[in-house]
Chains A and B, each alone.
Chain A
Amino acid sequence: MVDDHTHDHHEQSFVQKYVFSTDHKMIGIQFLFTTLFMLLVGGALALAVRWQLAFPWTKMPIIGDLFGLISGSGASIFAGEGGQISPEFYTMLFTMHASVMIFLVIIPILAGAFGNFLIPLQIGADDMAFPILNMLSYWFMWPAIACFGISFFAGGVTAGPGSGWTSYPLLADLMQAAPNSGAGQTWWLMGLTLVGVSSMMGSINYMTTIINMRAPGMTLFRMPLTIWSMFITAILQSFALPVLTAAGFMQVTDRLLGTVFFIPSDLIVNNAEPTIGGGQPLLWQHLFWFYSHPAVYIMLLPAMGMISDMLSCMCRKPIFGYKPMIYSMASIAGLGFIVWGHHMFTSGMNPALGMSFMTSTMMIALPSAIKTFNWIGTIWGGKVQFNTVFLNCAAFVSMFIVGGLSGIFMAAVPVDIYFHDTYFIVAHFHYVLFGSTLFGVFAAIHFWFPKMFGRMMSDKIGQLHFLVTFISFNGTFFPMHLLGIAGMPRRYADPYLHPWLEHLKPMNQFMTYCAIIMGLAQLLLIGNFLISIFKGKKAGRNPWGANGLEWSAPSPPGHGNFDVPPVCYRTPYEYSSPEAEMLDQDYILQTEPPPRQTAAEQKGSADE
């Protein structure tokens, strides 16, 4: 332990406690609020995208007028287009939807919110190893959010960065290639870099904390899978991120300082001067995906870890195959570094690479399969508590199966020739990132809410939210598989310009209605969340009867977390174990010492 200060020693000022807090729990909660807010922003952007795909070139409801009201002139921002989405604006919408969801929601809600909140509590530490660095990792999010925010308007009000979240050169590299983006793309890159700084500070902290600050008895193989997943994620982040940061800087200098890292010579883009060149656009793709493929696992592994803990608790049964779960996460992380090329099968790289990346990509499906089987094995023979937490976990498993299986089509290079950049891909990654990760996050919010705020969230509203979200999610994203098979490309402002795609419009309209319902359903979650903070049923230390160290701390834990420095005696998965039964309960906290050897033996022999 860092120092043996006494707890609740002095009153902290409001700013110290709620704003520039160095307490990991407060930072985690700050991350949670920020990312949930960003979830709404990203969702609104997605709805605008869906609007255009269902009713192209028609006036957006509400928003079409709203901007006009703000500017006061009565004219909408798309005055020339009568309140409809312009194609430039459409490119910005999907670019920013992806950027917000990936960099400001999913990565920070997993690592930032739950990583921060759970790591010290679950390993029995009183705080992170570097509390100030931890605070900075949160506060570096805000300049990033500001940069992303500025990028909306830097190129005028009708179009921000429009190169997709992948920011492929030369579209993203040359000002003249996307004239409407203007400086927006540069601001976007700055935002990206700052998000990276934030994540990096978090990762260093998580690794150090997990390695150095575990409670006595908390051996590596007694750590909850949440901690394992956070640990592996932190390693992934810290190895992959520098590459993205470097690549991002190269693109910034290409845009601002006239370097030509990604620009070949003699291209006349948009009637500008021919480029000087000497660079290679494929270089960006390699660097970008070297980060962004591991990033897919950064966006998934922590949810996998949390799901494992929650499933085990809600089934009152030990996790099926604890060590295989760890090894499969580790191999996902390891293989995750050598599969980036599967994003580039049609990119024109050496075709031999296509074959090796296909093989490694097929292999990475294996640990994911093992995890899925283990989750089903965990439920098998358990005493399932059908509550909101469990339902969201089960949805995670069910949706992950879809996302995993649809990935096999794209991993197969020849089949990917057809599916690359169609809606099949969009279906696939939404099943993984929303279907899996976000359902995992919903479960985690309900599960750890009592530890965060000392109160329970309403289970009834939670189940209703789950039901509506699950149905509308599948209504929105399942048909995307079929759109992809029908050949509808991604990122088209108006696919129906092509007569052979026209018959897909009714399906797109159905999906948009589902998406609107899904968006509205999230108000249930937000409302339940906010109201329960003040009005929820009071929760004790261990409302779920779970085993982890965090449940031996008060709810919410005070400064320094534990009232007694915890000592860990067992793995966190001994639900329904004989020892638990001896205590007349179906769980046994990790802090519960084993029955004294002699006493136990005496008792045992006496019983017989």
Chain B
Amino acid sequence: MKKFWALFFFFWPTLAIVVCCIAPSQNWWFPSEAMSPLGKEIDGLFYLILVIVTITFIGTQYALGWVLWQSARQDDAAKAEFSHGSHTLELIWTIVPAFILLFIALYQMDVWMKFRVQAKFPDEAKNAPVVEVTARQFEWRMRYPAPGKLLQLNPQPDDLYTVNEMHVPVGRPVRFNLRSGDVQHAFFAPQLRVKQDAVPGLMIPIWFEIPKPGKYELLCAELCGWGHYKMRATIYAEPENIYHEYLEALQQEQNFDGVVPDTEEDE
């Protein structure tokens, strides 16, 4: 029974590693590769930590299994070693992890600053937000400036609005302002690796860049009430000209006064 338990503590970390290794092939992994340059950097940091953590995991779990195995092999007459520890070992396993952890922390700073510190934003994202995103129970509201105008902090009469559809141009950093209309929400675009809480009373500048046109998921990641799970929206990344056409079409639709000059009613 002793040996069974010692092997048991070898077995489960092995199984865990096997599961992690087959996970990407089973689609138990990121929903897609990162679709934004910053997201790719975040993934890079993730894999860096994953490597460090996996090595530590294997090392410590197998060390645990090994010390158990050593003891399980002993005969009954064996005696425990009388030792209160080792000063050298304590120093080693304090200093080495300290450097590794500090390295991880310092190595992460850069990407974080690019994502959140306004002074480090890419130039196109420093000013001129493209859209204002307001999260409400339980929908996403977008406010665009009229074509040719800049987005103002306060709503303007000619602003354009959509719900649960966020259209952005591809190929350049897109800055947007994030607000909440009621309770707290969080803007989560998993494929872009972007997440930011929308806090009532605050306006938070965020940016991302999507190189490839396409549809991307947007959902809420901060509990906002019973309908939290329903806050699904789509980000449409479009080439610049299509994006502008879209805005113009939106403007026409919004300014449409309901009077149709000379067409017959046919349903």
Contacts and interface: CB of A to CB of B under 8 A. Distances in A.
Interface in B73-132: 74, 78-86, 89-90, 93-94, 97-98, 101-102, 104-106, 108-109, 111-113, 115-117
B164 interface: no
A354 B199 CA distance: 17
Interface residues of B, number: 96
Interface in A491-508: 491-495, 497-498, 500, 503-504, 507
Contacts of A363: 98, 101-102
Contact of A91 (B67, B197, B228): B228
Contacts of B9: 394, 398
A370 B93 contact: yes
A458 interface: no
A381 B70 contact: yes
Contacts, number: 315
Contacts of A171: 183-184, 223-225
B186 interface: yes
Interface residues on A, range: 35 or more
A163 B13 CA distance: 36
Contact of B45 (A267, A366, A415, A481): A415
B44 to A, nearest CB: 10
A267 B181 CA distance: 6
B164 to A, nearest CB: 13
A351 interface: yes
A218 interface: no
Interface stretch (B55-63, B142-150, B238-246, B259-267): B55-63
A168 interface: yes
Interface string A251-275: 0000000000001110111100000
Given A319-B85, A362-B104, A418-B42, 17 more contacts: A171-B184, A177-B137, A177-B225, A316-B79, A317-B82, A362-B102, A366-B101, A398-B13, A401-B64, A408-B52, A417-B193, A418-B46, A421-B188, A486-B30, A497-B232, A498-B219, A586-B80
22 contacts: A87-B229, A162-B225, A162-B226, A170-B182, A171-B184, A177-B137, A265-B201, A268-B181, A318-B85, A319-B84, A320-B86, A346-B221, A370-B97, A376-B64, A376-B67, A381-B81, A384-B71, A487-B190, A491-B229, A498-B217, A576-B79, A577-B82
Q: Closest 3 CB pairs between A and B?
A: A264-B201, A381-B81, A351-B116
Interface of B: 1-2, 5, 9, 12-13, 16, 19-20, 23, 27-31, 41-42, 45-46, 49-50, 52-53, 56-57, 60-61, 63-64, 67-68, 70-72, 74, 78-86, 89-90, 93-94, 97-98, 101-102, 104-106, 108-109, 111-113, 115-117, 137, 180-184, 186, 188, 190, 193-197, 199-202, 204, 217, 219-230, 232
